[in-house]
Amino acid sequence: MGRITLDRPEAINAVDHGMISGIAEALDAWEHHPDIRLILLDGSGDRGFCAGGDVRALREQILAGDAAAAMGFFRDEYALNARIAEYPKQIVVFADGVTMGGGIGLASHASVRIVTERSRLAMPETRIGFTPDVGGSWLLAHAPGRIGEYLALTGGTMDAADAIYAGFADHFVPADRLDDVRHALVTRADPDTPTEIAMLFDETPDASRFEGARAWIDDAFAAETVFEIIARLRERPEAEALTTADLLETQAPTALTVTLAAVRSARGLSGLRSALAQEYALVEWFGRTQPDLVEGIRAQLVDKDRSPRWKPASLAEVPADTADRALSFTPTAPLWS
């Protein structure tokens, strides 16, 4: 077994460019290695697998006018996401604890995706004026019903049961059994069957909250626009629908508009690589043309005042052609050469 451990626990293992390169180099070295039969990817510390990418560095690069460096990071990150999905040997991931943003890109495209009672998965990009990436739009597009739109727009957090229900994970294993899973992956006679090994320790989690919420989620988030989604939420009798409407009205209007279109567009794409290419163009569109990304990172992660000043400030002010312009944006260099 080849083992890759994210080892930046002070930042909940948020990945920087060097870590992305290191993972890719390990996968390259092991792809044809005769003694490596499977890969384990996990994180150090007890707070989480990976809190995402280093978006503070992204903000600094944009402010410095170095968009090329920022796009270089995303290019390598997305190539790694696709490589994990297509890797010829099975990759087992322990998405234990916080697994968000870039952490989803590492965990949720793997062969065997294990979550625990501590797992908290999310794609919270709209909260920083951005859009789900790292193949997140592909995963969200294929979640049951309108769960994908709900998660994409709200940035909502999933526990283990939710993640399995939404298609972001496969198996629930208690955190105190993860060492036993590691041991079994190394010592069992047939290491080519990690799914069967995971199932030895798999327990049935409680029911996902989505099972009881599908009626109002599917009704509201099927609406054509974000404005109409909010209106439908306010017509629902469920208290959670009303709080969701309140939340959406605090998110970046441009990010909400583009994200809704991106998830729905991803449903019609041919595969993960196509979704990553769409996301890559959107990243550059946000970074080069939209002030909200820099402002959202400032408000949430730099100054932490949680008071972003979005431009435009309301959905009513978002130009009608915004999503079309974003989705038709041509990046300065293609993702796939």
The alpha carbon dihedral of 131, 136, 141, 147 has a sign of negative
Alpha carbon distances (Å) from 324 to 64, 259, 261, 321: 28, 11, 8, 5
pLDDT at position 16: 93
Contacts of 134 (CB under 8 A, 6+ apart): 53, 77, 78, 81, 101, 102, 104, 105, 106, 276, 279
Active-site hit among 43, 53, 148, 155:
53
Which residue, among 261, 227, 283, 273, has the nearest Cα to 141 in the 3D structure?
261
Domains of the chain: which residue ranges?
2-327
Whether residue 102 lies in the annotated active site = yes
133 is catalytic: yes
Continuous H helices in 1-135: 17-31, 55-63, 67-86, 102-107
Catalytic residue among 77, 125, 159, 170: 125
How high is the pLDDT of residue 174? 97
* pLDDT string in tens for the chain (337-residue length): 999 999 999 999 999 999 999 999 999 999 999 999 999 999 999 999 999 988 888 899 889 988 888 899 999 999 999 999 999 999 999 999 999 999 999 999 999 999 999 999 999 999 999 999 999 999 999 999 999 999 999 999 999 999 999 999 999 999 999 999 999 999 886 656 888 889 989 999 999 999 999 999 999 999 999 999 999 999 999 999 999 999 999 999 999 999 999 999 999 999 999 999 999 999 999 999 999 999 999 999 999 999 999 999 999 999 999 999 999 999 998 898 7
Quote the pLDDT of residue 69. Answer: 84
pTM, entire model: 0.96
CATH architecture group of domain 2-327: Alpha-Beta Complex (3.90)
Q: Is residue 171 helix, strand or coil?
A: strand
Number of neighbouring beta carbons within 10 Å of residue 166: 23
Q: What kind and span of H or E run contains 41?
A: strand 39-43
Output the pLDDT for position 236. 97
Catalytic site residue from 42, 54, 96, 133: 133
DSSP E strands: which ranges in 145-197? 171-172
Whether residue 125 lies in the annotated active site = yes
- Strand bridging mode 2-6 / 48-50: unpaired
pLDDT of residue 193: 82
Positive or negative torsion for Cα 114, 16, 73, 304: positive
Burial letters 233-250, b for 16+ CB under 10 A, else e: beebeeeebeebbebbee
Catalytic residue among 2, 48, 97, 102: 102
